[in-house]
Amino acid sequence: MANFLIVEARFYDHLNDLLLDGARSAIEAAGHTHETITVPGALEVPGAIALAADSGQYSAFVALGVVIRGETYHFEIVAGESARGLMALSMDGLAIGNGILTTEDEAQALTRARKTEKDKGGEAAKAAIAMLELKGRFG
């Protein structure tokens, strides 16, 4: 049994609740435990994971959040840099599932967040579980 940390950038409460439900269900179905922390935004998720990884308390991580395109370039920065940060941590050997949604509008986010549809929170948790298993195989 492994302990997972879910790091959520909570901005759209109703969307995050859906993502969290999917992630928690997938982790529990696999027989693991989890804790959840909240950070101000998607850009802070990689930093929080890096800090938590240093604690040694967690075997794997699930990043959750929603970034919806607005009228400015900010969307591209947040989407790209949060993904880059998570990828860098993955390349350093952390088992991470990326469930930060980057969508054009709320309707797309709802479709991706709902467990009855795309269940991206659950998929991110399953990706973290798979990466943890790979880490165990090669580590």
pTM over 0.95: yes
Q: Where are the domains of the chain?
A: 1-17+39-106
Whether residue 66 is annotated as binding a ligand: the answer is yes
Return the pLDDT at 16: 97
- Concatenate the DSSP letters of all residues of 111-139 into one string: HHH-TTTT-HHHHHHHHHHHHHHHHHHH-
Whether residue 112 is annotated as binding a ligand: the answer is yes
Name which of 50, 26, 28, 48 is nearest 39 in CA terms. 48
The pLDDT tens digits for 110-125 are 999 999 999 999 999 9
Whether residue 62 is annotated as binding a ligand: the answer is no
The pLDDT tens digits for 13-57 are 999 999 999 999 999 999 999 999 999 999 999 999 999 999 999
51: left (phi over 0), alpha (psi -120 to 50) or beta: alpha
Residue 74 known to be catalytic:
yes
CATH code assigned to 1-17+39-106:
3.40.50.960
Tell me: pLDDT of 139 over 80. Answer: no
14, 32, 34, 74: the active-site residue:
74
Q: If you average pLDDT over residues 62-87, what whole number do you get?
A: 93
What is the percent of the chain where pLDDT is above 90? Answer: 94
Cα dihedral across residues 69, 71, 77, 78: positive or negative: negative
Phi and psi angles of residue 81, each rounded to the nearest 5 degrees, phi first: -75, -35
Whole-number Å distance between alpha carbons of 92 and 102: 24
Q: If you average pLDDT over residues 6-19, what whole number do you get?
A: 96
Q: What type of residue sits at position 138? A: F
**Which 8-state DSSP code applies to residue 72?**
S
Whether residue 16 is annotated as binding a ligand: the answer is no
